[in-house]
Chain A
Amino acid sequence: MDLPIKWLKEYVDYTASTKDYIEDITKAGQKVESVRELAGDITGVISGKVLEIAPHPDADKLVITKIDVGSGENLQIVTGASNLTVGDIVPVAMIGATVYHGDSLEKIKKGKLRGVESAGMLCSIEELGFTRHDYPEAPENGIYIFQEEVPLGEDVKKLLEMEDEVVEFEITNNRPDCYSIIGLARETAATYGVPLKYPEITLKEEGEGNSKDIIDVEILNPELCPRYIGRVVKNVKVEPSPLWLRHRLTAAGVRPINNIVDITNYVMLELGQPMHAFDIDTIDEAKIIVRNAKENEKITTLDGQERQLDPSMLVISDCNKAVAVAGVMGGENSKVSPGAKAILFESANFNGANVRITAKKLGLRTDASAKYEKNLDPNLALDAVNRAVQLVEMLNCGEVCKGMVDCYPNKREKWEVEYSTEGINKLLGTDISEKDMIDYLKLVEVEADGKKALIPTFRPDLVAECDLAEEVARFYGYDNIETTLAAGTPTVGKKTYSQQVEDKILSTLVSLGLSEAKCFSFESPKVFDKLNIPKESKLRDTVKITNPLGEDYSVMRTVSLNGILTSLAVNSGRRNPEAKLFEMGKVYIPKSLPLKELPDEIPTLTLGMYGKVDFYDIKGICEELFESLGIKEEYIPEKDITYMHPGRTAKITVNGEEIGFVGQIHPDVAENYAINTGVYTAVLNVAKITEFSSFEKHYEELAKFPSTQRDIAMLVKDEITVKEIEDVIKENGGKLLESIKLFDVYKGNQIQEGFKSVAYSITFRAKDRTLTQDEVVSPMNKILKNLESKLGAQLRDK
């Protein structure tokens, strides 16, 4: 909402500077977004009289003028304008002045035009930053010429009443009354405790006949139209509005059009009540019917667009046709054209939600609909219509008929809110006296007596004690409420266990060199193809967004990988030689489709990396991670995840339960992401990690007796996994077996094709004694025998 300061000061006297004002009004609850100075950029332009016009010796299109700017010394200024005559008073930009040149500002310098010195520039209205809408008397092409004798050497901004400051407010939607100059004036008056000067409305009513006899109004849907007032003006003269009115509109950001339209806009800005004017001759039988639109009904609105209506929408119609979309825009068929003889002013109240939905359906949000959708006070309509016809009389552009038609079946009355001084003080933590509270409430026209408050109808937001508490606090000053620290019951600040696990995961991964990524939770359904996920996969059953920002953000992810792969692709595309990332996010798994209840949101950890890394790097990271969480996990070869390398992927299990996988991304998938190097990833279910994790530690006594170590090397078939070998060693090592350590795996020269050499250090230890060589012979033999029999291992001589 734009508030021009000059206009504001019509209704409220205050002395604060605009700088202080914006601070004060913001603290009182109306937040200022910005302040702009109208014509603030224009400087150094004064009025001057044309004394002489002489042709330019070297240019047909230029003339040399002598200008009197009241300083006694005449200026020689060269201009290309052809609309000047001797004696005209015009705006003169002096040397050093700033004016508009197109959309940008230009500083006037002393110079020569085709060899002739020019000490300034004569200005058009556009060069002063305005248009012919603001100053219709200005010529289409040429220098602005003052219409009357004005003093010379005066600042033209003052002469043309261009200067003003416009304060832009952020109005909260509980305060429809503040979408008006008068509403903000009321807040201003309350802020400074000064009176509000409400516009005085007096009418002459010289038009022939009474509105009641001329028109008829019927509301068929009073729920959507609580009030409709019609008032007739005869012998209308449609013409440009006077300067003062045009300026008010321009300052408030509304384009002046003609006196009738300008009057409706003026009232809307001033009082917040949208108005509309119909040409009565276009209303069949002069009867207004407010009704729902018919199936397939169409109307061409004032902007020339044909609009398809539906029965949820409210229209203003006559006996035969719709003449306006209620609260949104008038119809082309009933508009006030320059030849109109009599007009009907509409000042009505419509249901806010209905107007909003209609405007949205039509894609036609107007100034009027924006006001209506906040739910206006129906009592406002009366003042508004009278204000409009008063302006007609002021502008002398029509004869206002007596009376009006006012359909208002259920009048909105003031209501009472019970409160107690103590209750408000208790909520605020203040000690404000009953009388002071009554005075604060009086500032916003609430009549209170310490027990109950009578609320004006333009304040629908005041319905309970807490609402009054806010009004009291606003004018007592939020700043003046004493800052305290709640005594209350002591509480312990803490994180949940799962948050602690997540913290541990984060710190472990960061110390292992991975950086944390953040990815969007929704993505494109095309991701499933990109990841080579089969058509029939359950992962394609997604939580879908009804109104997404395009397909790319249309489904909640069921797989976390796309985010990290996309991030790796960004890094790879930017030639970052290495990237190691992890993301702690969620996947969203529907319990059933169509969705009947909220989906499962499963916290998921996704690791991804490329660069100088291989499978064993990322597996090592997983191992460190699980160790830090007190989890003993196992890795089982996994070849069936379609987006993973079938020979380089392991699923990870804990106590036989699967909690994720680790491996290399399938090269086809990496290619889909345009990453031309090995990409390694791990995807882990954090809910399950949390379940299996443990931060409990127990000290185990350090060994007192030395261990005995045996190294073995064996030849096994390539497909035998290290895990299989280790299982055999563990099973047969007996209770003295302390640890086994793989120290070599070799394929190639000297090793038979299809085989590999694997070497282990096996350590035995007893807690209570030093082992003798003999004691380890038996377990070693058992191990070797079983390796041979179960895995076909051939032991190699050392």
Chain B
Amino acid sequence: MKEELKKIQESTLKKLSEVKGLEEIENIRVEVLGKKGGLTKILKSMGSLSQEERPIIGQYANEVRKAIEEKLEKTKENFLAFAKEKKLQSEKIDVTMPGKKTKLGHVHPMTQVIENIKNIFIGMGYEVVEGPEVETAYYNFEALNIPKEHPARDEQDTFYIEGEGEILLRTQTSPMQIRTMETHSLPIKIIAPGRVYRSDEVDATHSPVFHQLEGMVIDKGITMGDLKGALAVFAKELFGQDTKVRFRPHHFPFTEPSAEMDVSCFACQGKGCRVCKDSGWIEVLGCGMVHPKVLERCNIDPKVYSGFAFGMGLERIAMQKYSISDLRLLYENDVKFLEQF
């Protein structure tokens, strides 16, 4: 019997080492260990053994069974691992192929610049306000110290609207200074971005519709030093921390003293190039201390309060920032253009 057991062990182990599939392993298991399997049969016939032989053969039979079971299990595991490996290999893909993209849209470069600037000022405690584009001459001119006979009010610069009274398309965002002073309580710290209109034919650097951003601070004790400080912080945030600023005297009817702010040319770092016309500086905005007459007109006492205001054209900043050479591109809305931003 021991011989038989040994034989069955040897033949089974041999078969297992030659199997080619999981199914075969199962077949062998049934063939040997199943109810009607070879080993089971032998064990069933143990009853015919003598009292002395039984434990010895029994023990041996168990060893054989264990060996077969172990081998079965191991073979099965090997097969499973192999199959898994094979499956993974068959699933190999070319990871250098392009990904499936959900195409995102693009924010217009003007909006990006406006948002950028808005966020800088919001961070500095400014509130964003908006107002009408179709304006009265009072807000666009009179209240800003631009009297009737001023050349800025000429039809060649300003679009007028048919109707009663002097209605026009605002030529600047500065009317928002007046509207804010009339409606807000003091202190005031606002920016007002928006569309403005001037009678310029469309070309590479002009558009009859463009964007400006106005800013104004009114409080007790505001000085020209504060104006310089606020705008220097802004310029560094927008154009980079290495940016230098320069304030030059200028003239605006609604600020006094007035200035223009230049920033060091970001194309050449101030050395002089085509972008800055060899001056090393790029003009960015106009600013000044709010004119006392403007304050008075809005019922703010210039003896108690003072303030500064500034205004900038945004198209030019966008064009310089993104190296856009033709302003018309901004209003054409070619997706090939928009997708670059």
Contact = CB atoms under 8 A, between A and B. Distances in A.
Nearest to A495: B128
Nearest to B195: A521
Interface string B190-214: 0000010101011000001100000
Given A510-B106, A549-B201, A594-B164, A429 B154 contact: no
A598 to B, nearest CB: 5
Contacts of B195: 521
Interface in B159-197: 159-165, 167, 169, 187, 189, 195, 197
B91 interface: no
B52 interface: no
B135 A598 contact: yes
A549 B199 contact: yes
B122 A494 contact: yes
Interface in B229-275: 229-230, 232-233, 246-251, 253, 256-260
B256 A464 contact: yes
Interface string B324-341: 000000111111101100
Interface in B13-41: none
Given A486-B229, A549-B199, A595 B164 contact: yes
Nearest to A353: B149
Interface string B93-112: 00000000011111110110
Given A356-B151, A491-B187, A511-B105, A481 B122 contact: no
Contacts of B58: none
Contacts of B135: 598
A473 B220 CA distance: 21
Contacts of B47: none
Interface stretch (A155-163, A539-547, A786-794): A539-547
Contacts of B169: 545
Contact of B224 (A174, A473, A491, A545): A473
Contacts of A360: 154, 156
B287 to A, nearest CB: 11
Interface residues of A, number: 90
Contacts of B209: 520-522
Nearest to A512: B105
Contacts of A474: 249, 257
Interface in A423-440: 426-430
A484 B227 CA distance: 8
Contacts of A596: 163-165
A466 B201 CA distance: 37
B130 A26 contact: no
A516 interface: yes
Given A466-B292, A478-B249, A601-B132, A519 B331 contact: yes
B55 interface: no
A598 B134 contact: yes
Interface string A354-381: 0010001000000000000100000000
B49 interface: no
A175 B253 CA distance: 12
A599 B331 contact: no
Interface in A469-518: 469-470, 473-474, 478-479, 481-496, 499, 506, 509-518
A473 B247 CA distance: 11
Contact of A518 (B123, B333, B335): B333
Nearest to B331: A518
B111 A479 contact: no
B222 A486 contact: yes
A586 interface: yes
B208 A493 contact: no
Nearest to A519: B331
Contacts of A485: 226, 229-230, 233
B129 interface: yes
A360 B259 CA distance: 30
A581 interface: yes
Contacts, number: 258
A553 interface: yes
B163 A499 contact: no
A34 interface: yes
B161 A581 contact: no
Most buried by A among B118, B162, B229, B291: B162
Given A29-B250, A479-B246, A481-B224, A464 B107 contact: no
Interface in B276-315: 277, 289, 291-293, 306
A571 interface: yes
A29 B252 CA distance: 13
B127 interface: yes
A353 B147 CA distance: 11
Contacts of A581: 333, 335, 338
Contacts of B187: 488-489, 491
A697 to B, nearest CB: 23
Interface residues of B, number: 89
B257 A428 contact: yes
Contact of A172 (B103, B124, B250, B330): B250
A544 B169 CA distance: 11
Interface stretch (A209-217, A218-226, A254-262, A572-580): A572-580
A556 interface: yes
Contacts of B121: 493
Interface of chain B: mostly helix, strand, loop or mixed: mixed
B69 interface: no
B136 A598 contact: yes
B198 to A, nearest CB: 10
B125 A491 contact: yes
Nearest to A464: B292
B71 interface: no
B123 A493 contact: yes
Contacts of A97: none
Contacts of B122: 493-495
A56 interface: no
A576 B161 CA distance: 38
B161 A545 contact: yes
A496 B126 CA distance: 12
A407 to B, nearest CB: 23
A481 to B, nearest CB: 5
A548 B189 contact: no
Nearest to A556: B134
Contacts of A487: 221
A285 interface: no
B164 A517 contact: no
Given A373-B151, A547-B155, A428 B223 contact: yes
B211 to A, nearest CB: 9
A488 B222 contact: yes
B149 A544 contact: no
Most buried by B among A489, A490, A547: A547
Interface string A40-62: 00000000000000000000000
B228 interface: yes
Nearest to B207: A520
A363 to B, nearest CB: 11
B219 interface: yes
Contacts of A469: 256-257, 289
A763 interface: no
B133 interface: yes
A586 B247 contact: no
A567 interface: yes
A467 interface: yes
Interface of A: 26-29, 31, 34, 172-175, 352-353, 356, 360, 373, 426-430, 461, 464, 466-467, 469-470, 473-474, 478-479, 481-496, 499, 506, 509-522, 543-549, 553, 556, 567, 570-571, 574, 576, 578-582, 586, 588, 593-596, 598-599, 601
6 contacts: A174-B253, A481-B247, A487-B221, A547-B160, A549-B201, A556-B134
Sorted from nearest, which 4 A-B pairs have the closest CB atoms?
A595-B163, A429-B223, A429-B225, A29-B249
Given A496-B129, A580-B105, 13 more contacts: A428-B223, A429-B223, A466-B256, A478-B248, A486-B230, A495-B128, A516-B106, A517-B108, A518-B333, A520-B208, A553-B208, A594-B164, A601-B134
